[in-house]
Amino acid sequence: MNAMDNQSIKPSKEQIIYANLLLIGMLAGIIIMTITYTIYLTGILPSHVDMQLISANWGKGVHEYSEITHSPLGWGWIALLGKGDFINFIGFTLLGTLTIFCYLVLVRGYYREKNWIFTIISVLEILVLSLAASGILGSGGH
Amino acid sequence: MFPIGRWLFLLMVVVMSCPAIASATETMVGGAPSKPWWFWPIILFFFCLILGVLAVMAGVGGGVLYVPLVSGFFPFHLDFVRGIGLMVALAGALAAGPGLLRRNLANLSLALPVALIASTFSIIGAMLGLYLSRLNPNLIQACLGGTIVGIAFLLLFSKNTEKPVVTKQDAIGLALGLQGLYWDDGARESVEWKTHRTLLGLFMFILIGLLAGMFGLGAGWANVPVLNLVMGVPLKVSVATSKFLLSITDTSAAWIYLNRGCVIPLIAVPSIVGLMLGSILGVRILAVAKPKFIRYMVISVLLFAGLKALDKGLGLGFLG
């Protein structure tokens, strides 16, 4: 293996930063999910939706379920962070936003390299993921 | 000495089994469920633990097993199963991503353009899936069944190529820089690769994104054959890039389901943690097990689950 090969086999600096961010975020997400789920099950914080009510309705479609349980749509869960069931959304949100943060690192790297194609692709991906996360598309009312 | 990893593992098993400790009472009143609320989350946790082990040994993603099996054998509506299935696939992909990127097996230049297409169309797929589900749940059930049967046959018959021969790179692949070099530990050599039929491959990711979003399946089962057989990417790079790709594709679709309320924490957390712990166990068991037998077993189970979903969706009633 020559020196050039060795250089090409090594991941780029951005790739390493991306990997590190992903690792930290993923571990944090799992730890947070475990803690919040424990809080939820032990009843340290009261639940917004009673567990009996959940199990009685989880066989119904999401539309009907949301109406019966008065569950918020989109980012409405933020208003219910004091409830045991909805603090679990902190972990879900962390897992869901992790890739967006990682892409910000890529944009910076590609912009510095003046790699315009990949700068544009990365910016577009951030827009697509942000649009999906925003709730504009996914949280149509009851 | 007891390693810290084992303590952590045991701790998480205990935490996830907490519903059993909780003093819930069984509700048997008319119209109410026949099982107490904690019954299904516990069963789900252990079921996902086993699913995680099997997924690793069969070489498939967690999502593709989770959706058909949980929708077939658990009392949850398909809307929730698909939403949580995507979270399961996302968590698995996020966990695998760092290692694959550091070893330069997952290729960013290859993943980024493909991810943009797949993630955009997975949003459309998710919205379409939820719309169809509201219109007629049986329709989406039947389509899911058909897709699962198709996946089982794809897993059974597709013959991936370790190092496809690409004589000439096409213009799009060249413009996007879809080529690379990786170190093959087995062969003790560096392997150079480049893509061909790039446009066709990119178009196929439109369909993959739609299916991933619509059924919450993850999409490793489709990513790998397209990258490997259509675009000519070596198998190792295809598998690694596919796994990394899921962390992007599933993120966009998962948000649509999350924002619509399809992720119920009571069943989502045991599913995610169960499958992740199962995957860790699976990697250890892999060294002593016979993966080929497990793979055929998983394909058979998938085929049965697909036929069951098809049967349920079409209202035939052959499989109960």
Q: Is A25 on the interface with B (CB under 8 A)?
A: yes
pTM here is 0.86
Determine, yes or no, domain membership for B268: yes
- Beta-carbon contacts of residue B73 (< 8 Å; ≥ 6 apart): none
ipTM over 0.95: no
From chain A, the residues in CB contact with B261 under 8 A are 62, 65-66, 71-73
> Which parts of chain B register pLDDT below 50?
1-2, 21-31
- A to B CB pairs, distance under 8 Å: 214
pLDDT of amino acid B26: 41
Q: State the smallest CA–CA distance between residue A64 and chain B in angstroms.
A: 10
A56–B33: do the CB atoms touch at under 8 Å?
A: yes
pLDDT tens figures, B9-25 = 565 565 555 555 444 43
pLDDT tens figures, B225-250 = 899 989 999 888 888 888 889 889 98
What total number of domains does chain B contain?
1
pLDDT of amino acid B8: 53
- Pairing outcome for strands B179-184 and B189-194: antiparallel
The domain containing residue B179 runs over which residues? Answer: 43-312
From chain A, the residues in CB contact with B76 under 8 A are 58-59
Q: Is A76 on the interface with B (CB under 8 A)?
A: no
Q: How many helices (H) and strands (E) does chain A have?
A: 6, 0
Determine, yes or no, domain membership for B147: yes
Mean pLDDT, chain B, whole residue set = 83
pLDDT tens figures, B259-282 = 999 999 999 999 999 988 888 787
What are the average pLDDT values for consecutive 10-residue runs of chain A, which has 142 residues?
58 86 90 94 93 93 94 92 94 94 92 93 96 80 44
Nearest C-alpha in A relative to B95: A26
Q: Are B256 and B125 in contact (CB under 8 A)?
A: no
Nearest to B68, CA basis, from B126, B156, B147: B147
Task: Please give the full DSSP string across B247-305, using - where no structure is assigned.
Answer: HHHHHHHHHHHHHTT---HHHHHHHHHHHHHHHHHHHHHHTTS-HHHHHHHHHHHHHHH
Tokens representing B5 are 């990893």
List the single best residue of A26, A54, A120, A126 to mutate versus B (max B Cβ within 10 A). Answer: A26
Determine, yes or no, domain membership for B137: yes
List the single best residue of B73, B138, B183, B260 to mutate versus A (max A Cβ within 10 A). Answer: B260
Determine, yes or no, domain membership for B94: yes
List the single best residue of A70, A95, A101, A104 to mutate versus B (max B Cβ within 10 A). Answer: A95
Q: Is A7 on the interface with B (CB under 8 A)?
A: no
Determine, yes or no, domain membership for B33: no
User: What is the number of other CB atoms lying within 10 angstroms of the CB of residue A56?
Assistant: 17
Map residue B190 onto helix, strand or coil.
strand
Q: Is A46 on the interface with B (CB under 8 A)?
A: no
The type of residue at B122 is S
pLDDT of amino acid B7: 57
Instruction: Please name every residue paired with B179 in a beta bridge, in sequence order, or none if there are none.
Output: B194
Determine, yes or no, domain membership for B184: yes
Share of chain B above pLDDT 90, in %: 32
Q: State the smallest CA–CA distance between residue B287 and chain A in angstroms.
A: 25
Determine, yes or no, domain membership for B36: no
Nearest to B245, CA basis, from B125, B129, B92, B83: B92
Select from B18, B126, B137 the Cβ nearest to the Cβ of A61. Answer: B137
List the single best residue of A55, A75, A89, A95 to mutate versus B (max B Cβ within 10 A). Answer: A55
Q: How far apart are CA A10 and CA B48, in angstroms?
A: 36
pLDDT of amino acid A138: 58
Q: Which residues between 83 and 102 in chain A have a beta carbon less than 8 angstroms from any beta carbon of chain B?
A: 85-86, 88-89, 91-92, 95-96, 98-100
Q: How far apart are CA A83 and CA A25, in angstroms?
A: 24
Determine, yes or no, domain membership for B319: no
